[in-house]
Every structure is written in structure tokens, then in C-alpha cells.
Amino acid sequence: MNEEIKAYNHSFDEDLVEYGTIPDVFNYSEGNKIEVPDDFVLCRDLEGMSTAIFKEDTWDYNPYRLSATKLTKWHFSKLLLGKNPAAERAIIIELKYLLFCMMYFCESGYTGTRSSSVMFSYFTVLRQAARFCLDLELTTHGNLTLKHLFTNKPFLAAFVRNKKGITFNKRMSAIINDFNFLGEKIIGFTVVNREDVDLNETDSQQTVIIPQRIYMSLMNNLENDIDFIYENSDGLEEMLPKFKDRYYGVSHGRQKGLAVGGRKYYRETMSQAIVSHGLSKLLKDNYKVTKKNNLTLALSKIQFIAKQVIHLYTGMRHQEVNRLPYECVYTETITEATVDEKGKIVDEALAVELLSTTTKFTGYKESASWYAPKCVLKAIKILQRIARGMAGFYNVAYETIPLLVSTSELRTLMDGKPEVTNFNTSKHSPHWLSLLTITGIDLIDLRASDEDRDFLSDKKFQVGNSWPLASHQFRRSLAFYASNSGFVSLPTLKAQFKHLSLEMARYYRRNFEQIKTIFGYFDKEKGEYILPDDHMIFEYQLGIPGNVANQILIDVLGADNHIYGKTGRYIERQKEQLKDNEILIQEVRKETEKRVAKGELSYRDTLLGGCIKVGACEDEMLGDFTSCLGCKGGIINPNKVDKAIDRIKEELAEYAKDSAEYQITIIDYDALVKYKKYSMKSKDEEPA
């Protein structure tokens, strides 16, 4: 039997009869799915005429106003911009449903009612949230919803940061409280904790971006360390189990004192054990191991290095890495191989190796996954060597122990169980980390990444200080830098990481449905794939608009030379707004980021400069680079034009003038020379 629920927290109240008449009563039986009929009436005037119907895109609550002041109508149609009609309509339906639940299922105040003006204020905030979802969707190619926003801390924090203000904070707090009260049974999701989004915060204290110079140094040093350790750590698996013998690795003098017996019973000393297991380069030369205490410290330092590499290249959180089991790598096939009619493989299958906190699959994924490039796989193999050795020490199956298993039992020989290593940054950090000191250039990067924060007054970030490394910095830095697949603003980074950024784009810029099946887990109760709300992908996607904006600001607006092309006028106007010898001003940055987030502006590097055209480029795919000269999205860099002309002149010299190659190439050459002469006011040149 249905339970009749009145509109308690609707603007309707018995005292409002003189303004309007009663809206529809919603019949709801607890436990059933809530379905609001399209023709459900939310507000009626004194004549009983409907002024707010659920399916309509305009709701008029003036009949229920508490004062003589006329209320603004609720216009959902402002979300309908025609850029993505399906997504815009879907989020309007979601927005209406959430507002309905707040009005009909929440109680508030002494009377249990809310005024229409209060509900309108909540509507404006939620409509802004819906616009945030739609704008972000244009850059991530996913179907971002209000559910995604309110269940995901990085997304919600990003939205809140852009809407600072006492009034906004109060309204957002009330909305979060309402959603918490309604719960998953009513609205279909559990909102993030109120404490997780500090609406009282006035200064940005977000995790810092690692400056480019330090980031590159970290990358180089960690990769060098991992390569060295990987090549020289094979013997760990065989050596570590031998320390179950309390005499193993102890000096012969100490063994004699412990009454081990005669010389024929002597075990290998630490030095002998290191040599016999081929570990001299690693343990003796590099970590100066001479006794058990040295050994356990060295192993922890090796694990620390491997852990930082995992953070660096995956963006996993501290506890996510700590939870990695021994078997944490698996291969996911993205696309199957293409086979012709003769059974010959025409196109190889595309697969990616992933890390997961659980890889014991029973037909579905039970945990989240992260993309694992080659450097990470080396780090995993190093940790597995140590883990297999410790499994032998504990006499347990290695599949049952954590990947980052503690080695302290080698020294204490206590009957404990395998635990995760407890790292101390100051104790386990490599010596080179303290040498990465902050410079003025690094401060410029920090200020550019967060203009609202006063880094100059922060004692941790003073010039000359060692960089205060924390594991979560890797996560945000990876999201910040890798969200731009070209890494144009990081030209000095190693080729390997540039390649990684392309791979990141390949796998992390998929739409939400594809992401769920690759990086998510299967929820048995809901019967669907779920992407964890705190997964790296969300921070990665949030970084895309800001990083594209950074490319435009630094590589285009910050260029010393004049910019040509169809967008030249816009670019040159923006350049005039920059202050001399200072960081790009905040107003230009915010306007650029806003246009990128809305999908009105994009940027990618080209052979002749850059392009701000949104979407795919057919000419680029066909290799027709001279089409940029007349493209409305083209940004032409005169230096690149000169280089292209010189390169083609050299190429033409290798062809016979009557050859097809010469005839095709001369067309591109003529186009460039003509453009330089007439559009860049430069003298013509003749081919060699």
C-alpha cells in the first residue's frame, strides 16, 4: 500500500492558500523506485492553473511567494545551448529530479517547510553545477552528471573553488546536507562528506604541482635508480630466506660466540652472502651493507624508490600503493586483433598492462586499476623479488603477502606476520632528493599553477630549500602535466615521458563507459561497472582545460614574435593584455581557461605553429600541413615557417625536377613562400 507523502519541504504551506492552491501530492512506498510523472504539478495559482509542471523547462513559483516581491522563474532551458543536446537534456532531467526530492522528502526549519526563494537559491547553485558538468564534458568526451560531481571529491572541489563566496558556501553546504539526508535510496548516490570539501576555505591550499625542473630531475633520478636496481637485484629472492637461520650473515667471530659449533658449521658472513648471490654492486657498493641492520635499511630504501616510481607514473595514492598485492599486474585487451579472410593478422590486438589492488578476478574486476608503463613494471618486478624472498623467510605462499612487505623481521627474527613497510621519508629517501633545491624558476612555476596562493610567504617553498616531496604531489603533477598529451610546455622532458603522455591520453581520455570497464570494478549489488570516485582519471580530466589554457598562454601568448593566421587578431589582442616581465596576468588566464572548459577553444602543436580548432583535423591525418595556412584555427609561427621552407628546399634538391616527388613537394614550397611574402610581408625565395 502506498504511503502518501505531502510536500513538507516544498514552498507550499497551509498559510499560503491566499497566494496559491495545493500542488500535487506524491504517493510513495518506501523501497520502491521514485518515478515522477511528467505531468506532475509542483505549483498552482489561486485559480488552480498549473504554473510549474515537472516536464516543463520553466517553473514559476510566484503563487507560493512569501512576500510581495516577484520571484524569478526557474529556467532550465538556460542549459540548452545545443552543443550536446542529449547530455543537456539528460542533466536537466537529473536536476529536476534532485530538486523534486529536496522539496518533497527533506524537512527544514521549525515548521518543516522552505520558502520558494530558498529553493530558488538552491536551484541556481545546482544549475551552475550542471553547467560545470556540461562544460567539462566537452573536454573529456564523457557523460559527466550531477551524480558524478557530487560523489567525486576532485570534481566537487574544482567546482567549489570556482564559486567562492559566503552565500555560495552556505547554499552548497545546505545542498550537501540535504543529499546526505536523502541518501542513496532516494537520490541514487551517496554524496561526498561535507568535511571533504572545505567550504570555509578562503586560500587555496591544494596539493602543489612539482615544478617542471624538479619534476624532470625526479623522473631522471628515479628511472636511473630503478634501472640500476633492476639489473642488480636478481639474487635477493634466493638470499633473503636464508636469514631464517639466526647465524646467517653474522660475522664468524659472532658465530663463534653464539656457539654455532666448529668452523665447518660456520654460515656465510654478510659480505660472503652478498658476493655469493651476485649482489655486490647493489648492496656492497651502492648501499654499503655490512650487517643485518644495514640490509633491512637498504631493502627499505629500494622499496621506497620503487614506490615513488609507481606514484610518479600512475598517480596512485599512498594507501593504494600500500594495498598492492604480490600479483598486481594484469593485461587488458582494448581492441581485438583484426584478421583477414585468410586468417592472417592485419592489425595486432591493442593491449595495456594495468595495476590493480585486486587481480584475483572471478568474472569481474573487484577493484580499481591504473595504467602501468614499462618503468613501473620494472619497479613491480623488483618489489616482487623482495616479496618472494620474504615469503620464503616466512614460509608462506608469496601470492598471500603484500607487495611492499616489511623486511624488518630479517633483523629481529620475531614470529610475526607479513606487514607492509612503514616508510620514513627522511630515513629512506635517496641522497639525491635533498639536492633538489628550490630556485626562482621553480617559484614561477608554482605561482603559475596556483595564482591565489602566496608561495613567497610559505616557509616550505623558500629558494634554497630542498623540495618537500610528498607522494600525493606525484598524483596531481601527473594529472596536471599528462592531461595535455603533447607536453608542448615541457619541451625538455625526456622522450620516454613524452611517449608516456601520449599513452596516458590514449587510455585516460576515453569516455566514461570505456573507462569503467578498464579502470573500474564490478558492483555485484548494482550489477554494473563502477569507476571509483577518487580514481586518478578524474583529476587527470580536470587538468585538461587548465593545461590547454597553459599551452595557449605560455607557447602562444607568451611568444616574443608576432603571430599570424586566421586567429592572429585574437591572439595579438590577448598579448597586449600581458604585463611586461611578469607572469601572464590572471584575467587572461581565467578567460582562456573558461573558453577551453566550454569547448570554445583548444590547442595543439603543429609543424607551422599551433591550432586552436576544436575537434579532429582531417588535413592533419592526411599529412596536409600547409592547410594550416588558411585554416581559421591556425596559428602560424614565422620561425616554424622559415624552418619548413629550409627543410623543403633541402628535400627538393634531392629530386629530379621532372619527378613526381618534386612536383608534389614544390606545391607545398610555393604555398609557404607565397604565405610568407603576402601574409607575413617577407621577401620571396627561390628553390635551389
- Print the SS3 string covering 433-486: HHHCECCHHHHHHHHHHCCCCCHHHCHHHCCCCECCCCHHHHHHHHHHHHCCCC
Distance (Å, rounded) from C-alpha 383 to C-alpha 377?
10
Q: Residue 71: phi, psi to the nearest 5?
A: -85, 150
More confident residue, 111 or 528: 528
Over residues 298-308, the mean pLDDT reads 95
pLDDT of 404: 93
Single-letter amino acid, residue 225: D
Q: What angle do CA 417, 421, 422 make, to 5 degrees?
A: 120
Confidence of residue 594 (pLDDT cuts 50, 70, 90): low
More confident residue, 612 or 56: 56
The secondary element (H helix, E strand) that includes residue 253 is helix 252-257
Residue 502 has pLDDT above 50, yes or no: no
Number of C-beta neighbours around residue 630 at 10 A: 12
pLDDT of 203: 42
In 3D space, the residue among 608, 601, 602 whose CA is nearest the CA of residue 628 turns out to be 608
More confident residue, 268 or 619: 268
Residue 429 has pLDDT above 60, yes or no: yes
pLDDT of 183: 86
Residue 7 has pLDDT above 50, yes or no: no
pLDDT of 627: 77
More confident residue, 419 or 307: 307
Sheet holding 369-371, edge to edge: 329-335, 350-356, 369-371
**Coil, strand, or helix at residue 47?**
coil
In 3D space, the residue among 220, 185, 196, 207 whose CA is nearest the CA of residue 474 turns out to be 207
pTM, two decimal places: 0.56
Give, as one character, the DSSP assignment of residue 494.
-
Over residues 417-425, the mean pLDDT reads 84
Place of cell 606487514: 419
pLDDT of 487: 34
pLDDT of 688: 47
More confident residue, 30 or 84: 84
> 457: which residues sit within 8 A by CB, 6+ positions away?
none
Q: Record the cell numbers describing residue 560, joined without a space.
A: 616574443
Distance (Å, rounded) from C-alpha 399 to C-alpha 406?
15
pLDDT tens digit sequence for 469-498: 988 888 777 766 655 433 333 333 333 343
pLDDT of 280: 95
Distance (Å, rounded) from C-alpha 50 to C-alpha 43?
6
Burial class, 349, CB count within 10 angstroms (exposed 0-12 / middle 13-18 / buried 19+): exposed
pLDDT tens digit sequence for 168-187: 888 888 898 889 888 888 88
Top mean-pLDDT range of 25-29, 433-437, 525-529: 433-437
Cα dihedral: 142, 145, 148, 151 (round 10)? 170
Over residues 249-253, the mean pLDDT reads 86
Dihedral sign (CA 392, 396, 398, 402): negative
Residue 227 has pLDDT above 50, yes or no: yes
Q: Record the cell numbers describing residue 19, joined without a space.
A: 497566494
pLDDT tens digit sequence for 635-648: 777 888 888 888 88
The CA-to-CA distance between both ends of the chain, in Å, stands at 91
Q: Record the cell numbers describing residue 674, joined without a space.
A: 607565397
Over residues 301-328, the mean pLDDT reads 88
pLDDT of 393: 92
**Coil, strand, or helix at residue 398?**
helix
Top mean-pLDDT range of 65-79, 154-168, 238-252, 529-543: 238-252
Of 452-461, 498-507, 611-620, the one with minimum mean pLDDT is 498-507
Over residues 447-473, the mean pLDDT reads 84
In 3D space, the residue among 653, 612, 656 whose CA is nearest the CA of residue 634 turns out to be 612
Distance (Å, rounded) from C-alpha 541 to C-alpha 138?
11
Burial class, 659, CB count within 10 angstroms (exposed 0-12 / middle 13-18 / buried 19+): exposed
pLDDT of 232: 96
Give, as one character, the DSSP assignment of residue 402.
B
pLDDT of 580: 46
C-beta separation of 467 from 437 below 8 A = yes
- Helix %, strand %, coil % for the chain, to 5? 50, 10, 40
Burial class, 47, CB count within 10 angstroms (exposed 0-12 / middle 13-18 / buried 19+): exposed
If you average pLDDT over every residue of the chain, what do you get? Answer: 75
Q: What angle do CA 500, 503, 506 make, to 5 degrees?
A: 155
Up-side HSE of residue 59: CA atoms within 13 Å toward CB?
27
pLDDT of 297: 93
More confident residue, 8 or 424: 424
In 3D space, the residue among 294, 564, 586 whose CA is nearest the CA of residue 411 turns out to be 294
Over residues 3-15, the mean pLDDT reads 46
Q: Record the cell numbers describing residue 621, joined without a space.
A: 591525418
Over residues 184-203, the mean pLDDT reads 73
Dihedral sign (CA 440, 445, 448, 450): negative
Confidence of residue 211 (pLDDT cuts 50, 70, 90): confident
More confident residue, 272 or 367: 272
Over residues 272-292, the mean pLDDT reads 93
pLDDT of 258: 77
Of 165-179, 203-217, 327-341, 560-574, the one with minimum mean pLDDT is 560-574
Helix 495-508 and helix 471-482, axial crossing angle in degrees, nearest 10:
80
Q: Record the cell numbers describing residue 216, joined without a space.
A: 624532470
Of 50-59, 76-85, 631-640, 648-657, the one with minimum mean pLDDT is 631-640
Confidence of residue 538 (pLDDT cuts 50, 70, 90): low
pLDDT tens digit sequence for 622-671: 556 677 777 777 777 788 888 888 888 888 887 788 777 787 788 888 88
Confidence of residue 202 (pLDDT cuts 50, 70, 90): very low
Of 256-270, 450-464, 522-536, the one with minimum mean pLDDT is 522-536
Top mean-pLDDT range of 187-191, 328-332, 593-597: 187-191
Percent over 70 (pLDDT), the chain: 66
Q: Record the cell numbers describing residue 587, joined without a space.
A: 584575467
Residue 340 has pLDDT above 70, yes or no: no
Place of cell 626562482: 440
Burial class, 141, CB count within 10 angstroms (exposed 0-12 / middle 13-18 / buried 19+): middle
pLDDT of 107: 67
